[in-house]
Each structure stands twice: as C-alpha cells, then as structure tokens.
Amino acid sequence: MKELLKNTYGFIFEDALIDEITAVSLLRDFNEGDVLIDFGDYIKKMPLLLEGAIKILREDFDEGELLLYFIEKGDTCAMTMACCMGESKSEIRAVAETKGKVIMIPVQKMEEWLGKYKSWRNYVFNSYNNRLKEMLLAIDNLAFMNMDERLLNYLYEKSKINNSREIHATHQEIAYDLHTSRVVVSRLLKVLENEGKIRLHRASIEFLV
C-alpha cells in the first residue's frame, strides 16, 4: 500500500503522513459498476483514490439520480468528507466508473491530521474547492445548457476519464446519468454524429472532437 500511496500522493504528502495513512487505512479494490457509497449510509471512512474513476450521483426529488462529478486518481470526494466530519448520512451515491483501488481513512484520523499536517489541511481545502467548482458547473449545465451540450460534455468527460475515444455505454445508461429519457439520448446522439462530433458503433460511441 505504501508504494501505491507514494506513487499517487508522494508529491503532496510528507513521508510521515504517508506512513500514518499506511498504518491505519484499508486498501480496497473495486470493479466497474460497484456501489462504493450509497444514499443513507453512515460514512466512517474517507476515500483516497489510487487508481480508476468514480462517479458521484445525487438523488433528486423524484427519486431519480443526477450526475454531479467524477473523481479520478489522486482525488477524494468532498461530500463524503462533509458526511464523515458531520457524522451525517450520505446524500450521494458513489459508483465505480472503472475498476481501481481506493484507500479508506478512518474519520478520527482525518480530524487529527488537519491540525498536525499542513499538506493534509491544504489537500482537504483544495478538494472542497475543486468539488465545489464541479458542482457549480453541474448546476450551470442544468440551468443554462441545452441537453445536446450536456450530452457532449458528458461524452468528453467519459472519454477523458477512460483515456480513450471509445466510450462503452448504452443509450439507457447515458440517459440515467443525465436524468433524461433513452429516446432523447438516442436522437441527440444521431444529431451529434451527423455533425461529425461522434461516430456511433454497435456497442460503443467514438468521440471525435
């Protein structure tokens, strides 16, 4: 675990902090589609992502879900941290976008390290700031963007996270993430293909822009 930590966080955290994380934390492997945190869970550990990508979803008033943001290697989830610190139930669902590895840190240590390590304090505050910007962007997308623009942004993020122009997702899965219907997604994907921005294949979507 220590080598994985150093490879991902060695340029952020002091050696002493990495030693402490290694001593008290749990390393967990996950596969694509695994639910790592669910709505209503009491969160006792904070995740540090070593490999892979995770999407963070928010439950809406109609008991559907809305994609807030993705977290990638080197990230953590600010909303998870807030639940940990406040000992409140989770208001998000974290679903693995790809397979990967995550380190789970006990909440008691999170609080202790805020006063003990400047690098940890900076990391936590920067994480809050970055996730806040992403949530504001998600709100802007809902309020000001047309569905075709939201769809194109979604495909861009999926392509970036998977480091591939080939996006393996069904029209229904995309509709679920964007909180719309499969029919709307299928129609807009065809429009984007006609505009030369994507190419539709039988089991994947090729992102071209």
Residue ranges per structural domain of the chain: 2-143, 145-207
Q: How far apart are CA 54 and CA 177, in angstroms?
A: 13
Secondary-structure class of domain 145-207 per CATH: mainly alpha
CATH code for the part of the protein at 2-143: 2.60.120.10
Q: pLDDT below 70 — which residues of the chain?
A: 61-64, 85-87
Instruction: Provide CB contacts within 8 A for 203, sequence distance 6+.
Output: 168
Q: The pTM is what?
A: 0.76
Tens-place pLDDT, residues 54-84: 998 887 766 567 888 888 999 888 777 777 7
Burial 88-105 (b: 16+ CB within 10 A, else e): eebebbbbbbbebbbbbb
pLDDT at 96 (0 to 100): 94
pLDDT at 199: 93
